[in-house]
Copies of this chain bind each other. A is one copy, B any other.
Amino acid sequence: MKALKILSMGKYIPEKQISSTELEKEWNLPEGWVKQRNGVEFRHYANKTETGAYMGARALEQALERAGIRFEELDLLLDASGSFDYPIPHNACLIPAEMGYLDAGVPCWDIDSTCLSFVTALDVASYLLDGKRFKKIAIVSSEISSNCLDPKEPKTASLFGDSAAAAIVALPEAGESSGILAADMQTFSEGALFTLMPGGGNVFPPLRSNDHSDYSFKMDGPKVLKMAMDKLGPFMAKLFEQVDFGLDALDLLVPHQASKVGLDFAQKALNLPKDKMVNVLHKYGNCISASIPVALCEALEDGRLQRGQKCMLIGTAAGLSIGAVIFSY
């Protein structure tokens, strides 16, 4: 086990809520089309002042307040997001500025494995926490997808939403048993482009086309699901080799809120009772890397996970990666 205690979490949901009914009207789709396909009833879209850094800063402020610590007490700020405010600089350095800490000196860097970024950062943090250089680490996932939705692909476009979440992690106190019990990630590059935003980088530079669609999310949902189905079984078998208990010992499962089909598949494949699984897809949509920590944050707010209980975070990500962390809260 790698010692790590989630001291607190926080979240930020943009003010503007958009119902699937609104999107159906705007995009000339039959009533009920979106919910039936995606399971999404509402999602939130950031307004112009709600940048990624703004949302991440608000989530982090809430987490810091709940933990009762000040920003300057952090030894590291990890931004763990798939989207970004600027191509340069990286995301993390913008968050202290947004909070007014211009000269704090807290090291800031980004970890990106798209939808799994929070899970990866939590995993990495468990290696970094040494009680010396790294005593308290903040992880922030803040995602804006609403700039990059293509109404010509309504199934994908209606799936996504914007949100942010933050966690403060530290070494547990003496006598506490919080820690990462198992963690793994596998990347299968055959699926690297199954989830894609083609334009805006080295391959297809900005302004090469003026078609908004070239700068929007593309997702081959069936291929992603097929690959996830093929890989999940062997992945889980290898993951559980690290521990001496089985799936039924988990108290809570927080899957990536990828899609209704994805959540249904995960629930059946893992054969877990529905009340152990956190589902916030219907109200927030797929929020890329923020989905898992927002869902975990709400589960904590609702008292669904108690100290000493076991929780698994699991998901797929563009890459195509499959990753999970099992921790004792």
> A-side interface residues toward B, CB under 8 Å?
46, 51-52, 77, 82-90, 92-97, 101-114, 116-117, 120, 124, 127-128, 130, 133, 144, 147-148, 183-190, 192-193, 195-207, 210, 212, 215, 217, 317-321, 323
Q: Is the interface of A mostly helix, strand, loop or mixed?
A: loop
A86-B198, A94-B189 are contacts. A107–B210 as well, Cβ < 8 Å? Answer: no
Among candidates B87, B90, B109, B113, residue contacting A108 with C-beta atoms closer than 8 Å: B113
Among candidates B90, B130, B193, residue contacting A89 with C-beta atoms closer than 8 Å: B193
A103-B190, A205-B148 are contacts. A321–B196 as well, Cβ < 8 Å? Answer: no
Q: CB distance A90 to B112 under 8 Å?
A: yes
Q: CB distance A107 to B185 under 8 Å?
A: yes
Residues of B within 8 A of A103 (CB): 188-190
- Bound-state CA distance A138–B101 (Å) is 34
A128-B127, A318-B88 are contacts. A107–B196 as well, Cβ < 8 Å? Answer: no
Residues of B within 8 A of A84 (CB): 87, 201-202
- Bound-state CA distance A92–B188 (Å) is 11
Residues of B within 8 A of A112 (CB): 90, 109-112
- Most B CB contacts (10 A, CB to CB) among A52, A106, A109, A320 go to A109
Residues of B within 8 A of A320 (CB): 93
A127-B128, A128-B124 are contacts. A144–B111 as well, Cβ < 8 Å? Answer: no
Q: How many copies of the chain does the oligomer comprise?
A: 2
Residues of B within 8 A of A204 (CB): 86
Among candidates B46, B51, B110, B205, residue contacting A147 with C-beta atoms closer than 8 Å: B205
Residues of B within 8 A of A184 (CB): 107, 133
Residues of B within 8 A of A111 (CB): 109-112
**8 closest A-B pairs (Cβ-Cβ)?**
A89-B318, A93-B319, A97-B189, A102-B190, A109-B113, A107-B185, A206-B215, A108-B187
Q: CB distance B86 to A201 under 8 Å?
A: yes
- Bound-state CA distance A120–B187 (Å) is 22
Closest residue on chain B to residue A162 by CB atoms: B202
Q: CB distance A319 to B108 under 8 Å?
A: yes
Among candidates B88, B94, B217, residue contacting A88 with C-beta atoms closer than 8 Å: B217
Residues of B within 8 A of A124 (CB): 124, 127-128
Closest residue on chain B to residue A80 by CB atoms: B109
Closest residue on chain B to residue A46 by CB atoms: B202
Q: CB distance A113 to B90 under 8 Å?
A: yes
Among candidates B108, B113, B195, B199, residue contacting A189 with C-beta atoms closer than 8 Å: B108
Closest residue on chain B to residue A147 by CB atoms: B205
Q: CB distance A202 to B97 under 8 Å?
A: no
- Bound-state CA distance A108–B52 (Å) is 24
Q: CB distance A114 to B88 under 8 Å?
A: yes
Closest residue on chain B to residue A130 by CB atoms: B127
Can you list 8 A-B pairs, Cβ within 8 angstroms, ordered by A? A83-B88, A87-B148, A93-B189, A93-B320, A101-B189, A108-B189, A124-B127, A207-B210
Smallest distance from the beta carbon of A18 to chain B beta carbons, Å? Answer: 17
Residues of B within 8 A of A197 (CB): 86-88
Closest residue on chain B to residue A217 by CB atoms: B88
